[in-house]
Chain A
Amino acid sequence: MISAKSNILGRLRKGQSVQATAASRHELPTLPRLPKDQWKASFMELMSANHADIVETTEAGWQQALVSELGSRQIGNLVVASRAENLPLIEQLPRQLSGLTVTVFDQAVEAGADTAMRSTLFQQAEAGLSYASAALAETGSLALVTGPQEPRTLSLVPPLSIVVVRESTLLSGVAELFEHSFDKQQGQLLPTNLVLVSGPSKTADIQQTLAYGAHGPKSLLILWVNDLHAESVG
């Protein structure tokens, strides 16, 4: 409705000259950011407080850590995205864990129809494997940049969400993430869906009692890869 747009904008332009009586516009410096030496501790503390499970591991060891977590949690069906990093996993995981089926998220979740991928996600999938683009210290969050290699529903629909994150991607907070990765002037565009995840899904809607596993994952498992330490040792 073109007329609605011009009517609304017309009224707003008229109102732009109206100074609010209570106006007190401040020119303020940006907020201080968390010092770098506290980043990791802050991330770990906040994530643990939000009921995420964190396994600290190494570049060489995280796949084995994944195997042992899948085994101890008796996961029968793991969904992984179609990305190069997952190729060895797709081949090796079922060999290492006899009861495990690995499903590759390589078909579109078609609109309207209850296609194979949709029913796999909603019915069979017990866990989904994601890779975080960054970890944020001040809020204890993982940044998931969705796209062909990181489907939106992969970290949302299966009851267990497993996220691999490398320590080298740790940043102070959301302000730094935006400056660092999504500066439009530099041609760094936002993905169709950027999600910050800070724990398993939860609700306190019933008498302020916290319950985990509202609509999204019931558990969040973080595989924390200490890639910085490997460098300093090597």
Chain B
Amino acid sequence: MILSQKITSYPGHEITPEDVKAGKYLDLVYKFEPKYSWAAGVAISRFLAELKEGRIIARKCMNCERILVPPRMYCEQCFRPTDEWVEIKDTGTINTYSISHVGTDARRLKTPILVAVVDLDGATPGMGILHNLGEVEPSKIKVGMKVKAVWKSSSERQGAITDIRYFRPIGEE
């Protein structure tokens, strides 16, 4: 087994988990916590404010006539400012979905998370957002299924994407 006929040695030394546990090699542990306080900007600030009210808002570009969600103040296709706010529906269609058995740090979850890209009604077809699914058996989820947002109560909502708990199926329509 060779890399190339002209190369005969392969540099590098592997360390096994056992080596690490046995303290065979030195390492240095530290925690780094960069902290940010992001300016959400014009478009997303309004989007979040509307979520708090239980509504989903989009932006329309009068040039290409697309209704964009998540909203942005510029149309990336036409490269011009978008023109107006449009309230869209909290129902939509599953564009694609997945059943996640691992969390953010790759640890195994007891209960899988259901995730989907949901194309929202009222926006230009194909305009989806990422969110979770709920109130559904994982094996019953289908691409093309109609779903509706399940909102937190108005007192619980704080102007965040998680003001929508998840989307649930609403049967064939």
Tell whether A pairs with B: no
